[in-house]
Amino acid sequence: MRELLLNWYAKHGRDLPWRHTTDPYAILVSEIMLQQTQVDRVVPRYLAWLERWPTVETLAAASTADVIVAWQGLGYNRRALNLQRAARAVAEGGWPDDLTELPGVGPYTAGAVGNFAFGRDVLPVDVNIRRIQERTGEQFDGSCTQALFDLGATICLARIPRCEICPLAANCPSRGRRYEPERKQSQFEGSFRQRRAVALRAIAAGEAAGDDEAVASLAKDGLVVVTPDGPKLPE
């Protein structure tokens, strides 16, 4: 299966900008941005981010307010704070052997950066990869990671996999099966997450947030600072 998968990827793999670098900082940026955000939305934001802050040192030295503003629209703004905190940790002490020591970096992200930047034979298992492994019964190694990402995103889909064009179908015990819908992420519209986003945009624009509960939540996460003159973005 590994050989079939890699041959398929050589012909059909997606051309994504973070696949043209082994810079751990650039790869970390892409992985943090890709968390719960569609690839098509991430690509232009990733390119713009690296144009503005091309190195760990430039992001570490940036204003946190500028970082938060630049992140707007990518969701889960705490990721922007953690990304800058990680950059500052690396700028001060270098890349640790255990990447989970960096703020906001869990086992999956550590595995991805370790694989793509440092050449470690680790398979960072996300939802797509776990689904393929469960359906095929195959345990893949780290060299298959990008191929598995693409197979899961374009062919081995959650509900109705496209088995008729899958390179692994001939040997897959789950060929032809259909699946129940996976649990959906809670709706953003009308949620407290949306209220936080609206309040943060208002504060970034120098306007009144008008939502004390959302502001308190943002302040708890370090996304705003409450001053006698009202909430502001951190310096």
Active site residues: 31
- Quote the CA–CA distance of 136 and 172 in Å, as a whole number: 5
Angle of helix 24-34 relative to helix 39-52, nearest 10 degrees? 140
- Quote the CA–CA distance of 220 and 232 in Å, as a whole number: 13
Burial of 170 (0-12, 13-18, 19+ CB in 10 A): exposed
CA angle 55, 60, 62 (to 5 degrees): 100
- Quote the CA–CA distance of 63 and 69 in Å, as a whole number: 10
- Quote the CA–CA distance of 40 and 34 in Å, as a whole number: 10
In 3D, which of 50, 30, 51, 52 has the Cα closest to residue 42? 30
- Quote the CA–CA distance of 204 and 198 in Å, as a whole number: 10
Q: Is the dihedral of CA 13, 18, 22, 28 positive or negative?
A: negative
